[in-house]
Structure 1
Amino acid sequence: MMQDLFQLHTPDAAELRSPYYQSLLLEADPSADALDVHPGETVILALTRLDGLPVAVLVAGRTEHGMEILNLSVHADFRRQGLAGRLIREFLHGQSEMVRVCTGSTSFPALALYQKNGFRIQGVDPDYFVVNYDSPIYEDGIQLRDRLILRWNPS
């Protein structure tokens, strides 16, 4: 059996303000709102290397829509190893209410990841990224315009 090279960690809001976590959060969402974490209202899960260096983080919180995954990011050197899916499954384990997540319509890997973990598309916010972000965002040469809303329901 292969030794697990990553361990689950639950950083507090102060730890989340460290430069390494901040850069991870901004990779997933380049807006300053990505860094706005409210203690007591959020669930923060991270995967760290055995030496403690964080390589992936999930931030979820209660919004007017219920529980919502607000940010999910994996360091570029550690992608495609199942870490994001592991954090999603850890977060969803034991959830008894609907969970929502939003992603860009051109964020194809993220869309596939969420659907593999039981999320279904609920709706579309047309031009969300055009209206709410100061600069255009491009993914794979396509301007990101629309936000997809997905939801997961407990079985």
Structure 2
Amino acid sequence: MKIYEQKENKKQFLPLLLLADEQEDMVDRYLDRGSMYILDDDGVKCVCVVTDEGGGILEIKNIATVPDGQRKGYGKTMIGFLAAQYRGTHSVLQVGTGDSPLTVPFYEKCGFIRSHRIKNFFTDNYDHPIYECGIQLMDMIYLRKNL
């Protein structure tokens, strides 16, 4: 297994990125300014895009694992890599996600704690309703992890 930074042709991973952020124009908002990391384990298993938000804050904008690789530790491995990679240059790793019974517990298991909520984020920023686990996502929940 190896993790490496993808500096060019990031858009080739769009189908995988759309698993985590299903609207392409939203991905376009951060893809060019973000750093992309690929986890390869006999093929691409996980991709992640992070951005420097200033003030020592690194934000996970997108983390996606191929469907047949989910629940095998690839996402957690990627988060551990990011924490190690940016320790010393950033003080906080944050992620914004929908208040979902699928994603929030995953991040909490990775050491994140709830920080704040942005009301109506999904209804204000997406051109269609976003559902996860059969629940329409409305608010963005921010979780933070100290590095």
Q: TM-score, normalised by structure 1?
A: 0.83
Structure with the greater alpha carbon radius of gyration? 1
Amino acid at match of 2:136: Q
Structure 2 residue ranges without an equivalent (≥5): none
CA distance in 2, matches of 1:146, 1:44: 25
Secondary structure of residue in 1 paired with 2:31: coil
> What SS does structure 2 have at the residue aligned with 1:135?
coil
Q: Which residue of 1 aligns with 2:53?
A: 63
2:16 corresponds in structure 1 to: 24
Per the alignment, residue 83 of structure 2 pairs with 92
Aligned residue identity for 1:101: V
Q: Which amino acid in structure 1 is aligned with residue 37 of structure 2?
A: L
Number of aligned residue pairs: give it. 141
| Superposition pairs of residues 4-153 of structure 1, within 5 angstroms | 6-14=1-9, 16-18=10-12, 21-31=13-23, 32-35=25-28, 36-38=30-32, 41-50=33-42, 53-64=43-54, 66-93=57-84, 94-96=86-88, 97-106=91-100, 108-153=101-146
Task: Tell me if the contact between 1:13 and 1:37 (Cα under 8 Å) persists in the aligned partners.
Answer: no
Q: CA deviation at 1:64?
A: 4.8
Distance (Å, rounded) in 2 between the aligned partners of 1:99 and 1:9? 19
**CA RMSD of the aligned region, Å?**
1.7
With structure 2 as the length reference, what TM-score do the two structures score? 0.87
Query: How far did 1:149 drift?
Result: 0.6
- Residues 89-144 of structure 1, C-alpha deviation per residue, up to 9 Å, x if partnerless? 000015231121100012x2321121112111001111110111110011222111
